[in-house]
A and B are shown apart, each in its own frame.
Chain A
Amino acid sequence: MGAAKRLVIVESAKQLFRRFDLVMYLVISHLKVNYQNLVLGYIWWVLNPLLWVLVYWLLVSVIFNRGQPNYPLFLACAILPWRAFATSISQAITSVSGQERLIKQVAFPKSVLPLSVVLSNSVNLLFSILVLIIVALAVYRIPPTVNLVFLPVIVLVQITFTLGVAFFLAAVGIYFVDIQNMMQFILRVWLYLSPSLYGIERIPARFRSVFMLNPFAPIFMSYRDVIMYGQAPALGPLSIAFLIAVGVLVLGFWLFSRQEQKMAKVL
């Protein structure tokens, strides 16, 4: 049973790599379909998080007067990456169940569907990071430092984790359509429980280690370290987040590949 288990996940992974050109085309199609014009499309994608930044800034900084220095940038360094994660997993849920007709007609590795969803949102993530660096310089006079070189690492941790969750939810989404509604709520709470609106200092010391188990805690803090404070991210917590991310990816992909065979029948 153990050997058979491993075989399915390896086979699925191999199939996925073999059909990578299909993934690329799906990513491009995804970006084109949702956003007829790529630039305009990005503007729509980024409008939602920017509006939330405005709301939180008004609420926390202006009304409650509890904001961090440079609060809008502080917020954006978390909200924009979060947008990539939240959109990825929301779209991942229906990525397979929404392609019922196609899946019943052609044989192809279904894993390309959630993968291309995550990758296309990651394109927007990369763009957003660039925007953040430019805004940091232009508006807040924060010069870029050599520590920006850590950004690919942080992005890698985020994408790895996102992929794992995406595969998991794509598989679940076939059976439980309601999971979409649940996820809206879960995502919002998750965002508030991460150091997005506030810094980690606000968390009482005794809860801090549990708090840091949320991969987005080190992820958000690392984005800020690099973009706002020009320092290297704390590699300890980030490495742990990476290990958790890899674990989630393996688990998520394994679950997905186990279901993959049945998908055409169950839909």
Chain B
Amino acid sequence: MILNPFSQDNRCREFWALKNVSFIIDEGDIVGVIGRNGAGKSTLLRVLAGVFPPDTGIVEIKGKVSPLLALGAGFRPDLTGRDNIYLNGILLGLKKQEIDAKYSSIVEFAELEDFIDAKVRSYSSGMIARLGFAIAVSMEPDILLIDEILGVGDEKFREKSRQRMEEFMKKAKAIVIATHNMGFVREFCNKAIWLDKGQVRAMGNPEEVVREYLNMH
């Protein structure tokens, strides 16, 4: 399963958010995308998610891509957790029967058994994040895209998320994560990309890329 964009540019209002970004991602890769705010990390993830079609260049993805919706962006506060699971699941491309099958494991992973029938507007941000993560991961995507979320939830949940991500890796999937957490990149990623003002400043071994990035600041 290869993710293969060449010369991918992406323009927002005559501003090129990404320029000449080219890379290949293979099965089993955990790619950390680092860079300052505004460097284009989120834009890159969005291009991979299909949210922005590239203005020039190609994005070739083999497999199902699932974005991690930041803090439940797809959630309707006036609906219950249950309704939102279905709505979000269908939004992410699952069929109703698939959601039925995964429903209890989603609720269990998010630890929301007692709250699932309450309206989401009563949830804490931690609960929303857990639910969002649980739904995205249950989709069993081939490629998981994460935009700086992994700081949410308590220690126990973070541990669970980490475990789930590791299971992910074993299934020969890929993860692309945009983050400021250099420790995470060093520890978990096997590839790193440093984006600076929309261009690739460095790419390759996480240890080296992180070092270069830190040397610049």
Q: Residues 93-109 of chain A: 1 if any B CB is under 8 Å from the residue's CB, otherwise 0?
A: 00000000111111110
**B58 within 8 Å of A by Cβ?**
no
Given contacts A29-B79, A105-B70, A265-B12, contact A22 B91 (CB under 8 A): yes
Q: Is residue B67 contacting chain A, with contact meaning CB distance below 8 A?
A: yes
B69 part of interface (Cβ distance < 8 Å): yes
> Which residues from chain B contact A107 at a C-beta distance below 8 Å?
49-51
The reply on B201 being an interface residue by CB < 8 A is: no
Asked if B24 CB lies within 8 Å of chain A CBs, one says: no
- Any chain A CB within 8 A of the CB of B76? yes
Evaluate contact between A106 and B69: CB separation under 8 angstroms: yes
State the interface size on chain B (CB cutoff 8 A). Answer: 25
Q: Is B79 in contact with A105, judged by CB distance below 8 angstroms?
A: no
A60 to chain B, nearest CB (A): 39
CB nearest neighbor in B for A23: B90
- A201 CB to closest chain B CB, in angstroms? 47
Q: Complex formed: what's the CA distance from A105 to B49 in Å?
A: 8
Report if A235 contacts B (CB, 8 A). no
Count of interface residues, chain A, beta-carbon cutoff 8 Å: 19
For B57-83 the 0/1 string (1 means CB < 8 A from A) is 000000000010110011010110001
Asked whether any CB of chain B lies closer than 8 Å to the CB of A32, the reply is yes
Which residue in chain A gives the minimum CB-CB distance to B50?
Answer: A107
Task: Determine whether the beta carbon of A103 is less than 8 Å from that of B51.
Answer: yes
In the assembled complex, the Cα of A22 lies from the Cα of B86 at a distance in Å of 10
Q: Which residues of the other chain, B, contact A32 by a CB distance below 8 angstroms?
A: 78-79, 83
Q: Answer whether A105 and B51 are a contact pair too, CB < 8 Å, given A21-B90, A21-B96, A264-B46.
A: yes
Q: Report which B residues bind A (CB closer than 8 A).
A: 11-13, 46, 49-53, 67, 69-70, 73-74, 76, 78-79, 83, 86-87, 90-92, 95-96
Residues of chain A touching chain B, judged by Cβ–Cβ distance below 8 Å, are: 21-22, 25-26, 29, 32-33, 36, 101-108, 261, 264-265
